[in-house]
């Protein structure tokens, strides 16, 4: 069996759940099976969009991100369900528990997909046998379908898992790249979005083969260092390891909301920013981080979208500080037209305990008043241990997190926050 595994390389699976939210609803309610089903937020309002849909719905042309009204025109029999994130979170956790029965090297990418390194799992069977067993176990225990890609690296495994859906298993070797991947349009390559594809078109790159053979100087000038990485991927190269802890490495926390109607009243828009600031603060407290930059997103009624950010003098984590920066950014960049969507993102995150605050003329007096309290807390921690005094953020960490489907843009990575494996027990 070891002969089916490379001597120096890796064998990596990419497990991708098929129509995950819809499949979970069908597993929960078997009467939904075989019917056109869509998961959508706020179906009563215009911001209701299709989050995901069943394969039966897709036959009618229903697609993810499609407005609900358009989906109903295409499929009048469409069944609409609101998202149930608690249900999806539980199903996801159970799915990853199954994957960890095969290997300790499991890297969740989002709530419904992850990588598994099975290089050292030869005693369990061939890569195809392991993938088949894994797929059958997830289906039998959870009643959830998945597709699995088998490859020597993460990029090729991801590309392979997309090739047969639902319930497919695909092997993609590096030697297959010229015949299998290169003929594909470049926009079908993982990591190349619509905007990147448009840029590539300007230098006559239309297929993955064109990208694989592109001039490095030209591609770097167009896309920066990311262009060189994409060129490597197009040639089947990817040196990234499967890291079980990478899901917990995050660089930003953001919340956004689509407004029920176009709004041009400044006071109303400030009220929305205040609510978003509170949501970002709550999530930052749960993760015990502060931000070194704040960004806002404004989408106008014509769907033109801008994002602007500002680096902070002092790390921010309180609602008031986040709101102040967001308001200033908004006033500086708002053109006065009606707004359709607003968002706030905290970036450059660092652990609150290790953040270094630069005192300026305006914060010195306020911080000086708190200094005796900070000094006392520091002495208590030194004497009795770091956990002797828990902040409100850590208390929040112990509570059940209930998110709003329309406003928590970080759900895909928040879902595992309470399931971080202890070191040595991956």
Catalytic residues: 113
C-alpha torsion sign, points 306, 344, 63, 198: positive
d(CA 93, CA 206) in angstroms, rounded, equals 39
How does 306-325 read in b/e, with b if 16+ C-beta sit within 10 Å?
A: eeeeeebebbbbebebbbeb
Residue identified by tokens 């992850």 is 114
Quote the radius of gyration of the chain (alpha carbons, Å).
24
Classify 38 in phi/psi space as left (phi over 0), alpha (psi -120 to 50) or beta.
beta
For residue 250, give every residue at least 6 positions away whose Cβ sits within 8 Å of its Cβ, in sequence order, or none. Answer: 287, 349, 410, 413
Does 162 appear as a known binding residue? no
Tally of helices (H runs) and strands (E runs) in the chain: 15, 12
Residue 244, classed as helix, strand or coil, is coil
Strands 37-40 and 79-81, by their bridges, are parallel
C-alpha torsion sign, points 325, 326, 328, 332: positive
Does 112 appear as a known binding residue? yes
Measuring CA to CA, how many Å separate 28 from each of 93, 113, 139?
16, 20, 13
- Half-sphere exposure for 258 (CA within 13 Å, toward CB): 14
Phi and psi angles of residue 278, each rounded to the nearest 5 degrees, phi first: -65, -40
Residues belonging to the binding site for Mg(2+) are 16, 112
């Amino acid at each position: 069996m070891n002969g089916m595994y490379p001597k120096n390389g890796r064998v990596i699976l990419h497990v991708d759940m098929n129509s995950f939210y819809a499949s979970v609803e069908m597993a929960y309610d078997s009467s939904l099976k075989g019917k056109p089903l869509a998961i959508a937020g706020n179906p009563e309002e215009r911001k209701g969009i299709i989050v995901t849909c069943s394969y039966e719905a897709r036959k009618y042309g229903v697609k993810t991100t499609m407005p609900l009204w358009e989906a109903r025109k295409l499929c009048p029999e469409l069944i609409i369900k609101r998202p149930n994130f608690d249900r999806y979170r539980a199903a996801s956790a159970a799915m990853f528990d199954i994957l960890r029965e095969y290997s300790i090297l499991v890297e969740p990418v989002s709530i419904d997909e992850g990588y598994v390194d099975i290089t050292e799992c030869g005693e369990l069977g061939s890569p195809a046998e392991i993938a088949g067993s894994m797929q059958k176990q997830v289906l039998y225990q959870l009643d959830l379908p998945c597709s699995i890609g088998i490859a020597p690296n993460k990029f090729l495994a991801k590309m392979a898992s997309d090739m047969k859906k639902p319930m497919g298993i695909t092997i993609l070797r590096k030697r297959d790249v010229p015949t299998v991947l290169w003929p594909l349009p470049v926009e079908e390559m993982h990591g190349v979005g619509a905007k990147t594809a448009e840029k590539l078109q300007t230098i006559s790159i239309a297929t993955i083969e064109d990208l694989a053979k592109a001039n490095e100087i030209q591609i770097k000038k167009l896309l920066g260092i990311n262009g060189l990485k994409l060129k490597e991927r197009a040639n089947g190269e990817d040196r990234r390891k499967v890291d079980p802890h990478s899901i917990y490495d995050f660089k930003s926390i953001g919340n956004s909301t689509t407004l029920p109607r176009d709004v041009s009243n400044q006071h109303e828009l400030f009220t929305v920013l205040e609510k978003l600031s509170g949501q970002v603060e709550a999530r930052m407290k749960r993760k015990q981080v502060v931000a070194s930059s704040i960004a806002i997103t404004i989408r106008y009624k014509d769907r033109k979208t801008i994002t602007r950010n500002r680096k902070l003098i002092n790390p921010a984590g309180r609602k008031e500080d986040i709101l102040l920066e967001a308001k200033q950014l908004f006033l500086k960049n708002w053109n006065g037209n009606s707004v359709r969507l607003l968002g706030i993102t905290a970036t450059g995150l660092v652990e609150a305990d290790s953040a270094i605050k630069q005192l300026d003329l305006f914060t010195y007096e306020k911080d000086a008043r708190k200094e005796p309290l900070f000094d006392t807390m520091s002495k208590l921690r030194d004497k009795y241990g770091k956990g002797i005094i828990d902040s409100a953020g850590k208390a929040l960490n112990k509570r059940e997190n209930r998110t709003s489907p329309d406003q928590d843009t970080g759900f895909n990575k928040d879902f595992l926050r309470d399931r971080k494996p202890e070191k040595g027990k991956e």
